[in-house]
Structure formats: C-alpha cells, structure tokens
Amino acid sequence: MDALIVRGGNRLSGRVEVSGAKNAALPLMAATLLTPGVHTLRNMPLLSDTRTMARVLETLGGRVAFHGHTCVIDTGGVSSCEAPYDLVRTMRASVYVLGPLLARLGDARVSLPGGCAWGPRPINLHLEGLNAMNANLEIEHGYIVGRGVRLKGADFHFGTVSVGATAQLMMAAVRAEGVTTLDNVAIEPDITALAEVLVQCGAEIEGIGSRRLIIRGVKELWPMDTAVIPDRIEAGTFLAAGAITGGTLVVENCEPAHLGATLHVLERAGCEVEPGERAVTVRGPARPKPLNVVTEPFPGFPTDMQAQVMALCTVAGGTSTITDSIYLDRFSHVPELMRLGADVHMQNNVAIVKGVDRLSGAPVMATDIRASAGLVLAALVADGETKISRIYHLDRGYEQIERKLVAVGADVLRVSQRGV
C-alpha cells in the first residue's frame, strides 16, 4: 500500500493541468449501458474509480479499452444483469448501472454500494424514484433486485437535492415509456453534462440546467462520442494549494464558470484570483484570512472542497467556521489535521478552526478522497515531514497528484509500504 511523503515549506509556482471530472465520467460510463454499440469518452481521468467502473461494465458483458485518456466502451455484448458485491462495495457510483440495466434489459441485480468511509449515505431516493417508474425493486441478500421491469414515466419530487439520484433517474427515464417529470433535481455541472450527452444520443430532455426536468422516453439511443468535462474539484484543490503556500499557480483545462463559489471563498481568504477562458490564476496571500463557509448544493460552495478549505483555515490569521450542510458527519480529516497541530473544535456539523502560526509534520492517515486532499494541502505548509498513509483514497479522485504537485515546486514522494 502506498503512502505520500510531503516535506512542507515550498511555495508553489507554475502551471498545472486539470484532468477530466470523475463525477462526470462515472455516470457517463454507466449510461453506455442504455444502448448497444461502441461509445467513445475522451478526456477520461485515469483513476482507480474509473477502472472499477470499467470492471463493472466488463462483468456485465461490456468491453472496455483505455487508449491514453480515451476510453472506448463496447456494450453490444451486455447480457448479464448482476453487478457483484466485490466490485460495488468499493465504489458507491457503481450503483449507477441500476437504472440503465432496468431500462435496457428489464432485469437488474446490483449490490448495495460501498465507497468512502464517512456517513450513511442512503440510496433511498434512487430506489423510490425507480419504484415510482414501475421498477418494483426489492432488497434480497444485500442486492437490489428488479425482475421483468418495464419502466414507465412518472412524476417524482426529490425531497432533498441528490446528484446521484438525479443521474440515476435521468438515465432510466430516457428509455422509459411516456413522460417523466423530475422536480428539485441537482444542477451540478456533472448532471448538466450527462443530460447534454444523452440529448446528443437522441434523448428528449427539457429544462437542462434548471431544477425541473421533463424527459420523454425514446425507444432507442445511439452511442455516445464525447469529452468528459474538467474536474472542478481537482481545479479547486490546486487553487487551494497555491493559496495555502502563498504561491502563484495557473490552473489550466478548467471551466471557471463551474468554480464560482470556490473562487469567491479564495478571494475572501485574501487571494488574488484571475479567471481566464479555460484557466484560473491564483496568487496566495502571505497569510490567509479567516473564513465563514457553509457547503451547499451547486451553485453553492461544494462539500467536496470542505476539507481543502479547512486546511487553508488551519493557518489563517484568526478563527474560521466551516459548516457542512450536505453531509453532517464529513469530518474524518479533523483528527488528522489536529495531529499536524491544527486547532479545530467540532460543534455538531460545524468546525471551529483557530488559525495557528505553523503546522508541524507528523504521520497521518487518509480516510476518504477529499480528506486525503486536505491532508496533502496541510502537509505542504507543515514544518518537516508528513507521511500520509492509505492514499488509495486519494487515487480514487486525483490522477497522479504527486507528479502534478512536484511539477510546480512541491516536495512530494510516493513510497510503497507494507502492513498499513
């Protein structure tokens, strides 16, 4: 199992390129199941999660090949309807195949999902929405099971905004009989991108980018040929890295329109931020200003940037508050930041962060994708050496992050270790 060794103190400077968005790539990969044929996805991030989804598709009978950052998926031979526990347990997004399988085959047997080790994130909205569309799903021996399903259009209101459930029901609805109306849907860029690609494939979707989607089911779609949008969370992470080190970074191959809330927070922290056409330049302050941040669904500040901004606040000149209104217990990084000398106190889903003059390197352990990134950022400014273990979490969401950081001046080394 690999670890990262980070020696802090270097000011980052240079250009770094953002990869394709994991959270956009995974539903697109699942959506290839909706129709037989050869699908091409360019700007594909090379991550453990995209490889896991590839294995899921292969288990179902698909053929997947990676040619650099282009992924070619042949779904002509898909005949199995079972996504097994051994794969789905490692990544929650594997459950995305449920709706497409029901839409195409009428049958599905998909293991209940696993993934990041924080909080119970139920998939009840996925199941309720599909059942409203006549799926009649049952839970049997840890699997979600649908048999002889003929999906029909329905009206469904999301009690809470859910990115995953919005993607799931959208994919199912494009092949269902009749009209489906989805209210209070997520409008994250990943959802908009999925809808636009489905339309390119022949789907009929109205209201893209709004909180209400009207979807008229079609009998067939044609294969997709598209590029995965840039990863706004990776972009935000590198911008925060420039900010926390007081450096100057140009983050390229990103979409500034997707980064509005993150850029606003960085400006409030004292950064100079210059959005360009496909890039953002950040100049970090001598010391960050304290922040009051609340996570919200898009276009609000993303929960996936919460840990990175908390790292920034640990060395701010004052006291910050960070409230996660999306996931109330997504704070597994707090004890690890405290091992580095951070002063953080929790009050329910609110972190009170008193900035310290300096952090000091120590052994820490990654617990999820974004918590890992937060620890890397803190380590970049900590005195001495920080060893971050269990970085397989990091590899699920960041493509070769250590190489990208080294290229802009960080002292980061990936090492192999046993028994951790």
**Domain 2-18+230-416 identical in fold to domain 22-227:** yes
pLDDT at residue 119, rounded to an integer: 45
Q: Which pLDDT score, from 0 to 100, does residue 226 have?
A: 98
Label residue 296 exposed, middle or buried (CB < 10 Å: 0-12, 13-18, 19+). middle
* pLDDT at 121 (0 to 100): 53
Which parts of 277-359 are beta strand (E)?
Answer: 279-283, 292-295, 319-324, 343-347, 350-354
- Is residue 254 flagged as an active site residue? no
Tell me how far apart the alpha carbons of residues 274 and 270 are, in angstroms, rounded to a whole number.
Answer: 13
* Residue 370 CB burial class (10 angstroms; 0-12, 13-18, ≥19): buried
Cβ atoms of residues 319 and 354 within 8 Å: yes
Task: Write out the E strands in 112-211.
Answer: 138-140, 143-146, 155-157, 179-183, 204-206
Whether the Cβ atoms of residue 172 and residue 99 lie closer than 8 Å to each other: yes
Residue 307's contacts (CB-CB under 8 Å, 6 or more residues apart) are 330, 333, 370, 371, 373, 374, 375
pLDDT score at 330: 92
Q: Residue 23: which residues within 8 A CB-CB, separation 6 or more?
A: 93, 163, 188, 190, 231, 233
Cβ 109 vs Cβ 145: under 8 Å: yes
Strand spans (E) along 309-418: 319-324, 343-347, 350-354, 363-365, 385-389, 411-416
Q: Are 35 and 220 in contact (CB under 8 A)?
A: yes
| Mean pLDDT in consecutive groups of 10 residues from the start of the chain, 420 residues | 96 98 98 98 98 98 98 98 93 95 98 60 88 97 96 97 97 98 98 98 98 98 98 98 98 98 98 97 98 97 98 98 93 97 97 98 95 98 98 95 98 82
Active-site option among 71, 81, 116, 271: 116
CATH 3.20.20.220 fits 2-18+230-416, yes or no: no
Q: Where do the domains of the chain lie?
A: 2-18+230-416, 22-227
Half-sphere exposure of 77 (CA within 13 A, CB side): 10
- With respect to CATH, is domain 22-227 assigned 3.65.10.10? yes
CA 148 from chain centre, in angstroms, equals 33
Which residue has 């979600």 as its token pair? 144
User: Which residue, among 21, 23, 25, 18, has the nearest Cα to 54 in the 3D structure?
Assistant: 25
pTM of the model as a whole: 0.96
Measured from the Cβ of residue 408, the count of other Cβ atoms closer than 10 Å reads 22
Q: Which of 236, 361, 224 is nearest to 295 (CA)?
A: 236
- Tell me the Ramachandran region of residue 121: left when phi exceeds 0, alpha when psi lies from -120 to 50, beta otherwise: beta
Percent composition of the chain: helix, strand, coil (DSSP 3-state, to 5): 35, 25, 40
CA 48 to chain CA centroid, Å, is: 13
